[in-house]
Structure 1
C-alpha cells in the first residue's frame, strides 16, 4: 500500500500558455506532496517556464492538432515508461486523449479536472453533439471528474455524468500575493503612465468575444477622466484598440497584454497582476459565462470592489461572504451607472472578504488529495486507501463514489522536455 507521498503522478494539459487552468496547475503543484511531472500536448509557453523554475519536469508531446491521432501511441508509451501511479488531465483535448492513453497504458487511477465548461461552450468553443459525445465516452475511462465549482458540477451532471463521479474542488489563490500596498499602487501607476489621482477601472482575462471587454471599453470611454487597465491578450486586442480610438478614448484605455498572475517580471520592470490590482479602484468582469471566476476572487483579495455579470465562485455562496462584489446586468448603460457611482464615492479599499479564505490554494490542494486518495483506493487490485480512507469501485473497477460538494513539422520520435 502506497502513501500519497510515494505516489508518482503525471499531469497532462492541452497547453501551457498564460491562462487560468494553466496557472492553477502551477499553484497546485507547489502544494502536492508527491512527485509530479507535467506533459503538455502543445504550446509549452510561459507557464512551462514557470513550472521548470519551480523544479517541475515539463515535457512537450508536440501534438499537431485535435485530430493528430499519432500522438496517442506516443502518449501511451510515455505514460508506460514513466510508471505513473496516477494521471491527472486538464482541459478538453488533454482529457479525451489523456484518459484513453492512461487506460491503454494500464495506469492505476485517472482523474480529470473540468476547468472551463459553460452552458453553451467549452474553453471558448461552441458545444456540439460530437464534442459532448466524445467527452462522455472518455469520461467513463477515468476514476473521477473534478469540477472547479458547483455550477460546473451541475453542468456535468446535466450532460449525463453520474453525480457520484463528480467532485467539486474549487480553484484557489495565494491571497498573500494580492495584499494591498499603497507604495506598490503609486509605483505601478507611475510605471503604467496613469495620473496619480485618476479613477482606474480594471479587467483581466483573455481578449476573446465571450469576455465582452468591448462593453467595458465603451463604459469607461463614457466616463470622462476614467482610465481602464486591461491585462490579457487574444484575437480581440486589435479590435478593442480600434474601438477605443473610435470613441476618442485611446489615451485612457490601456491594453497591457499578458501579465504574470503571480508577480512582476524578473527584472521588476513589468508589473504583474497583483501590482496592477493595487493600481485599480474597481474591478469589472463583464463575461456572461464563467466556470469559476478566478480573476474576481483575486480582485477581492486585493480589497477591490467588484462588478460582475456572472461569477460562480461567489454566485453559489451567500452574499455576506463577498460583500464587496455586486452582480450587474449585461447592458453598457447599467455598467456606466455603476462605475459612475464608484467614481463619485471616491477610491476605497476593502478588507479581504471571507470568500478569499475559502478559496485558499492550500485548502484546494488538500481537497484534491482526497480525490486522489479515493481514486487510488478504488483502483483494481488496491489493498486499501492511501490515507486510511475507504473508497469503493463500481462494476468495471473504474469509478470513485462518494462525490463531495463544497457547502453551498515532422512528428517527433519521442516527446521532448527537461528533467
Structure 2
C-alpha cells in the first residue's frame, strides 16, 4: 500500500511533530507532500528516508498548488491520500479527487470552537471546509471532542472516526543525564525550578499568562519551547515585568524529550485545544501538568491521569507558586497513556486504509 500524507507546513508544530512521529510506525510505503515551505520537521522526515515533495504554494489562493499535487498523485499512483490541517485538507482532497485516488482520508487536528489553526472561524471558512469534506471518504478526529465539533458543523457521524493522536511513551521517558546536558546548554542551574511551556507562540496558547506571573514566581525560570508571531510581545512583557532574565525562549526544537526532561512542571494555559499533545508527552516524561483545556485528559475517566490538574487562568499563578515552594519531583507516567500509544494509532490507521480500499468501488474512481 502506498500512502501520501499532505500537510500544510512542516515547522515544529503539534500536528507536524505528530506526523513525523507516526511515519516510522506505519506498515505502509509513506511519502509526504507539503504545501508551503520546508521547516525543520521536513528535514527530519527526509533524514529517515521518507520522500518529501514540495507544492510551492505561495498563498491561500494559489490554486496552482492543486494542479501540482494532482500531477504528483497521478504520476506516483498512491492508494491513499491522507491530509492534515485545514489548507491541506481543502486543497489536498480536491487534488486527490482530480487524480482519481481510491481512498481519501483527512485527520482533523486543529478545529476549535472558535478558531481553526489559530484563525477565527468565519462562515466562508466553514463553508469551504464542508465543501472539501465531501470530496473525501472519511475524516479522522483526534479526540471525541473534535468529533462532536465536526458533527455540529454538519459532517455526518458516519463520515467521522475517532483515532487519538499517538505518543511513543518510551521515547519521552525522563532522562536525568539528558536533563543535565540540556540545562547546561540552556544556561540553567541544576537546582533551578523550571516552568515549561511547549507550543506555537500564538495568542490562543496564552503563554502571556505565564510571563505575567513570573514576578510572583521568583526564583523560578520559564522555558518556552516554540516560535510564533507572539514572541516579540512575550519578550516585551518579560522586560516590562523585570523577568526577562528568567524567561528563556528556546525556539523550535525537534528534541521535545530533552526540553521536557529539563523542566519541573508543564503549564498549558491554552483555552482551546483539539487534543493536547504536549500535555500527554509531559506526563510520559513524568512531569506534573497544569492545564486549562486538554481533551486527551478530559475525555479519560476521572482520575486516570493524576499528574494533570485542570486550573482556571486566575488560579494559575497561585498553583505554580505552590509548586515552586514545594517541588513535587518526577512522577510515574499514568497507565492511561497506553490508550495513546503511537503503535496503537498506527494500527488503527492501517486498518482504516484497508477498510476504505476494500469498500470503495475501484471502477468509480479509476
TM (norm. structure 1) is: 0.85
What is the CA-CA distance between 1:347 and the residue it aligns to? 3.9
Structure 1 residue 316 corresponds to structure 2 residue 310: no
What is the CA-CA distance between 1:164 and the residue it aligns to? 0.9
For residue 173 of structure 1, give the secondary structure of its aligned residue in structure 2: coil
The gaps in structure 2 that reach 5 residues or longer are: none
**Aligned 8 A contact 2:139 2:159 in 1:** yes
**Aligned 8 A contact 2:9 2:35 in 1:** yes
Higher relative contact order (CA 8 A, sep 6+): 1
Q: Equivalent of 1:376, from 342, 348, 357?
A: 357
How far, CA to CA, are the matches of 1:24 and 1:70 in structure 2? 27
How far, CA to CA, are the matches of 2:50 and 2:154 in structure 1? 35
How far, CA to CA, are the matches of 1:11 and 1:345 in structure 2? 45
Q: Equivalent of 1:353, from 325, 334, 344?
A: 334
Match of 1:73 in 2: 67
How far, CA to CA, are the matches of 1:290 and 1:164 in structure 2? 24
Q: Equivalent of 1:337, from 314, 318, 321?
A: 318
How far, CA to CA, are the matches of 1:275 and 1:221 in structure 2? 26
For residue 320 of structure 1, give the secondary structure of its aligned residue in structure 2: coil
What is the CA-CA distance between 1:373 and the residue it aligns to? 1.8
**Aligned 8 A contact 2:108 2:142 in 1:** yes
Match of 2:53 in 1: 59
Structure 1 residue 280 corresponds to structure 2 residue 274: no
Q: After TM superposition, which residue ranges in structure 1, 4 or more long, deviate above 3 angstroms?
A: none
Deviations, residues 343-384 of structure 1 (Å, cap 9, x unaligned): 2222411100123222111111111112212211221138xx
What is the CA-CA distance between 1:338 and the residue it aligns to? 0.4
How far, CA to CA, are the matches of 2:339 and 2:63 in structure 1? 41
**Aligned 8 A contact 2:217 2:324 in 1:** no
Structure 1 residue 362 corresponds to structure 2 residue 343: yes
How far, CA to CA, are the matches of 1:52 and 1:36 in structure 2? 11
What is the CA-CA distance between 1:85 and the residue it aligns to? 1.2
Structure 1 residue 9 corresponds to structure 2 residue 37: no
Deviations, residues 46-71 of structure 1 (Å, cap 9, x unaligned): 11111111110111011111111222
What is the CA-CA distance between 1:161 and the residue it aligns to? 0.4
Match of 2:272 in 1: 289
What is the CA-CA distance between 1:181 and the residue it aligns to? 2.2
What is the CA-CA distance between 1:188 and the residue it aligns to? 2.1
For residue 216 of structure 1, give the secondary structure of its aligned residue in structure 2: helix
Q: Equivalent of 2:122, from 128, 136, 150?
A: 128
How far, CA to CA, are the matches of 2:336 and 2:154 in structure 1? 30
What are the within-5 Å matches in structure 2 for residues 210-225 of structure 1? 210-225=204-219
- Name the Cα RMSD after superposition: 1.4
Match of 2:20 in 1: 26
What is the CA-CA distance between 1:158 and the residue it aligns to? 0.5
**Aligned 8 A contact 1:201 1:220 in 2:** no
Deviations, residues 132-163 of structure 1 (Å, cap 9, x unaligned): 11111111111100011111110000101011
Deviations, residues 197-248 of structure 1 (Å, cap 9, x unaligned): 2221111011011110000111233212111111111111111111111111
How far, CA to CA, are the matches of 1:74 and 1:181 in structure 2? 44
Equivalent pairs counted in the alignment come to 365
Match of 1:228 in 2: 222
TM (norm. structure 2) is: 0.97
How far, CA to CA, are the matches of 1:49 and 1:26 in structure 2? 10
Structure 1 residue 98 corresponds to structure 2 residue 101: no
For residue 142 of structure 1, give the secondary structure of its aligned residue in structure 2: coil
